Amino acid sequence: MRWLVGWSRAGSRPGVPAAPAVQPVGARLLWEDPDPLWAVGDWRPDEVRVVHAGPHPDGSRSHGPRPATAPPVARLAVLGRCGADDHQLRTGLLATRGGALRPLTAWPGSYTAVAQIGRRVTVTGDLAGARPVFHAAWAGGTAYATAALPLADLVEAELDIGHLAALLACPDSPEALGDSTPYTGVRRVPPGHALVVRDGARDVTSYEPAASLVVAAPEPDADQAVEGVRDALVEAVRARFAAPRHAPNGFPRTPAPDPGPVPGMGPAFRRAARGGVAPGIGADLSGGSASATLALLAAGLPGAPGTPLGHGTSAGERLLVVTFNDLVADRGGAREAELERARALAADPRLHHVVVAAAEDALPYADLLDGPLTDEPSPALVTAARHRHRLAAGSADHFTGHGARQVLDAHPARLADLLLGRRRRHLLRPVSALARADGPGPTAIAGFSASVPFTVYRAARRLARTSYREGLEGAAARFLAPDFATAEHLTGAAGAVDASLAALTWCRPGPAARWLTGAALAEVSVRLQAAAVRPTGAAQRPGERRAAAALARHAADLRVLEQAAEIRGQRLHAPFLDNQVVRACRALPQALRVQPGARASVLRSVLAGAGIRELPPGWGAPTHAAHAAAARAGLRAYAALLLRLFDAPLLADAGLVEAGVVRDALQSAAEGASLPLDGLAELVATEIWLRRLLARRGTCWTGPTAPRMRAVAGGVVPRPSL
C-alpha cells in the first residue's frame, strides 16, 4: 500500500497550538514544515518526483540569479506514473501559480500531483476516482492524504455507520454517499476536483469545464474522436514503457528482506507476499477486447526483443501475457470462446503466453480470513485471492483492461440524454438490440421498429422529464416503502431489457439493499432527501451523471482490489482510467456510444490505426456468464464458512442487517436460488472488512505526540474470530 500525506496549518499567532510532533511510520519526507509532505510505502525511485520553479527552502534558486525580492516557494511533487518530463512539470507548476489547475491533470499516466505556491497547497485527484484524495480537520488546520485510514488514525475517528448503510443500499449513487468515508470526520474529494488548502483553510474546486445545458454543443466528429482515443491509449501505454524496468526483490529465488512497516499489512502477510513476480512488463490476455487491445498496443511499441526472462529473444517476444483459465467454475464452457480468442491472439510472435490454471482455491470467497486491511470495504475483497492467483504469474508492471466498459460503453440512462438532445432516431438501433436480446417486443410505436419494446422508450422519456431533485426525492420515498424488500425493482434483472429499465433512473437501490434493516434504509432515505435540496453546482444530464457515477464506483473497487491482491514489487496499470483516456472517451459522440457493439468497434479502430487489423473471429463479443458461474461456485464451495461468518456478524451489531435473514439468503443462493449474488458479495466483503479493522493493532503514526488510538469502530462490538 502506497500513499502520500501532508497538512497545512494556520501561521503562528495567539490561540493557534504548536505543530504536533508526529510523522507517518516508515515515511520519506518530501518537503518540510510549515506544510510538510511525506511519501509512505514501497514507492519506486522513479515514481516520486519533486521539481521547483522558485527559491528552494534553503534560499537557493532552481535556475538563474536570485532577485532582490524572492518570490514565494513554488514546488511540485508528482507521485505515480507520469509521462511528463521535468520541463513540462515546471510549466504546469507555473500555470498553477496563476490559478490554473487543469494542466496538472493533462499529462499521460496515472499520478497524484501536489503543488505548493507559498502557503497554498493544491492536491489534484483524477477524473475516474482511482487516485482519490481525502482530507480531515486536524490541529487547527487540514490534513490530507491519498488514503483514508491514515487520516482516520490521525484524528482517532470512529466508524461512520451511515456511510456503510449508504454504501450497501445504493453504491452506484454518489448522492447518498456524498463526500463521506467509512470514518467519521474524514472526507473524500470528488473525482474531477482538487483540494486547495491555504493556511489551514480548505476548499474543494473542480478543474473540469462544465458543459452548458442551455446551448447544445455541436456533435463531435466520430472519426476524430476515435483517433483521439487511439492517441490517448498509445500515449498511456508509452508512458509506462518509458519508465525504468524493475526486478522485484527476491527474484527469482533469493530471499528478500522485510521492507518494513506497511499500514494494514501484518508481518505474516508481508512474509507471504515476498514471493516475487517476473521482472519487466506484462499484460492480461483474457480474450476480451480491452485486455487484448492493451497487450497488442504494448507489444507493438518500439523496443528490444525478448522478455525480461530471456524467453523468445530470437523470435522477437517482448511481452509476457497471462490468461486465467478457471477449471472449476467454467466446467460448462462459458469462457471457452474467450480462451480460444486468447490463444489465437497469443500466437503473435511478440507475446510470450502463460496460462494460469485455477482450482477451488481461486474461487470467489477463498481465503477470506487472510489478507491485508484495505482502505475501504468493497466486493473486490471476496475475489482478492482469485486475482492474486492470476497476478502472481504476471510481471513487475502489469497492464489490465479494467475500466474500458465504463469509459466506452453507454450507460442506459444516456438514452434519456438523446431524448433531451432531440435525437430520437439514434434510439432505434440500441433499443432494437435490447429487444433482440430478450426476444421480440409485443408493442410498437410510430417511427420505430415493431420489435422495439415500448417500455424502454417510455422509461427513457420519463427519466428525461424528471428533474434531479424529483428523482432523488422519489428514491428516498421508495426506501421507506413498507414493501421495499419485495418490490419488483429488487427481484433482479432477468434480461437486458430489465437491466436497462432498472438503470433508467436518477438513483436506484443496490443489490444488497433488500437485506438491510428498516433503520438502515431510513438513514439512507434521509441522506437522499438532504442531497435532493443541496446545491449541485453545474447541472448534468442524467446519462452523463450516471455514467460518471458508474466509473467512480468501478475505480474505487479497482483501488481496493489493488490493495487486497497486492504482490510486493508489482504495479497494476489500468490505462483506461488515466485522465487523458477518460477525456478522449468522453469526447466520443453520444450517437456512437449508444450503438450496439460500440466498445468493440472503437477498439478495433484503435488497433487498426496502430497497424493491427487481423483479429480472431468473435473478438469483442461480451460475456458475463462466467463471472456469475464463478460466484455461484464459490458460494457452494465456501457456504459453511460464510454461514459461520454470519452467526454473530458485526453488521448486525451495527444495526445494518439481521443475521438470520442473511444466513437464509446465503443458504438459498448456495442451493441455486435466483438471488442477486453481487449483493451477497457486498455484505460478505463489508463484514470481513469490519473484522479486519477491529483485529488491527497500532496506528500509522509515530512521535511523542502521535495519536494513542487507532481508528475505532464506534458502536460495533468485536466478536471472536472464526
C-alpha distances (whole Å) from 383 to each of 158, 225, 471, 556, 685 are 27, 35, 34, 15, 9
pLDDT number for residue 381: 96
| Of the candidates 246, 398, 233, the residue with the CA atom closest to the CA atom of residue 324 | 398
524 belongs to a structural domain: no
Cα gap 407→405, rounded to integer Å: 6
The answer to whether residues 616 and 633 belong to one domain is no
φ, ψ for residue 483, nearest 5 deg: -100, 30
Residue 535 in this model has a pLDDT that exceeds 90: no
Looking at 620, 644, 677, which one is the last position of a domain?
620
Residues 509 and 166: their CA atoms lie apart, in Å, by 10
Domain boundary among 602, 620, 638: 620
Q: How far apart are CA 524 and CA 514, in angstroms?
A: 13
Task: Check whether 35 has a pLDDT greater than 50.
Answer: yes
pLDDT by residue (tens digit) across 631-650? 999 999 999 999 999 999 99
Nearest partner of 386 among 361, 408, 410, judged by Cα: 361
Domain membership flag for residue 282: yes
**Are 653 and 682 part of one and the same domain?**
yes
In a domain, 647, yes or no: yes
**Given a cut of 70, is residue 418 above it in pLDDT?**
yes
Instruction: Give the pLDDT band (50/70/90) at residue 444.
Output: very low
Pick the more confident residue, 508 or 68: 508
76, β-bridge pairs: 51, 115
DSSP string, 584-604: HHHTS-HHHHTSTTHHHHHHH
Q: Is residue 118 in some structural domain?
A: no
Q: Same structural domain for residues 690 and 604?
A: no
Do residues 402 and 303 share a domain?
A: yes
CB atoms within 10 A of CB 228: 20
Q: What is the pLDDT of residues 204-244, one digit of tens each?
A: 999 988 765 555 566 778 899 999 999 999 999 999 988 88
To the nearest whole percent, how much of the chain has pLDDT over 90? 55
Does 206 map to a domain? no
**Is 39 in contact with 145 (CB distance < 8 Å)?**
no
Instruction: Quick: pLDDT tens for 452-480.
Output: 467 788 888 999 999 999 999 999 999 99
Cα–Cα distance list, 55 to 28, 64, 432, 579 (Å): 22, 10, 63, 30
Angstrom distance (rounded) from CA 169 to CA 650? 17
Question: Where is mean pLDDT largest: 11-15, 71-75, 325-329, 579-583?
Answer: 579-583
pLDDT, tens digit, for every residue of 253-272? Answer: 333 444 445 554 444 344 34
Task: Identify the pLDDT of residue 534.
Answer: 86
DSSP structure class, residue 9? E
C-alpha cell at 150: 491514515
Could you tell me if residue 650 is inside a domain? yes
Q: For residue 673, which of 664, 682, 686, 681 has the smallest C-alpha distance?
A: 664
Question: Measuring CA to CA, which residue among 666, 660, 664 is closest to residue 682?
Answer: 666
Task: Judge whether 455 lies within some domain.
Answer: no
Do 230 and 363 fall into the same domain? Answer: yes
Does the pLDDT value for residue 581 go beyond 90?
Answer: yes
The 10s digit of each residue's pLDDT in 605-616 is: 999 988 888 888
State residue 414 phi and psi, 5-degree precision.
-70, -15
657: containing domain: 629-698
What is the per-residue burial (b if ≥16 Cβ within 10 Å, else e) of 68-85?
eeeeebbbbbbbbbbbbe
Contact 292, 305 (CB under 8 A): no
Please tell me the distance from the alpha carbon of residue 318 to that of residue 462, in angstroms, as a whole number: 53
Contacts of 98 (CB under 8 A, 6+ apart): none
pLDDT confidence bin for 325, thresholds 50/70/90: confident
Does the pLDDT of residue 13 top 70, yes or no? no
Predicted pLDDT at 314: 35
pLDDT number for residue 284: 93
Tens digit of pLDDT for each residue in 82-102? 999 999 999 999 999 888 999
Q: How many distinct structural domains can be found in the chain?
A: 2
What is the reported pLDDT for 255?
39
Domain membership flag for residue 301: yes
Domain's final residue, options 594, 620, 646: 620
Q: Are residues 602 and 691 in the same domain?
A: no
More confident residue, 539 or 400: 400
Residues 613, 641: one domain? no
Q: What is the mean pLDDT of the chain?
A: 83
Between 626 and 409, residue with greater pLDDT: 409
Whether residues 558 and 680 fall in one domain: no
Q: What is the CATH number of the domain that holds 283?
A: 3.40.50.620
Segment 497-516 shows an average pLDDT of 88
CB 601 within 8 A of CB 293: no
Say which residue the cell 435525437 belongs to: 423
Task: Report percent pLDDT > 70 for the chain.
Answer: 80
More confident residue, 118 or 444: 118
Looking at residue 315, its pLDDT comes to: 42
* C-alpha closest to that of 166 among 375, 541, 472, 559: 472
Residue 585: which of 231, 130, 229, 232 has the closest Cα?
A: 229
**Are both 237 and 334 inside the same structural domain?**
yes
Q: Copy the grid coordinates of residue 149.
A: 485510514
Amino acid 557: pLDDT: 97
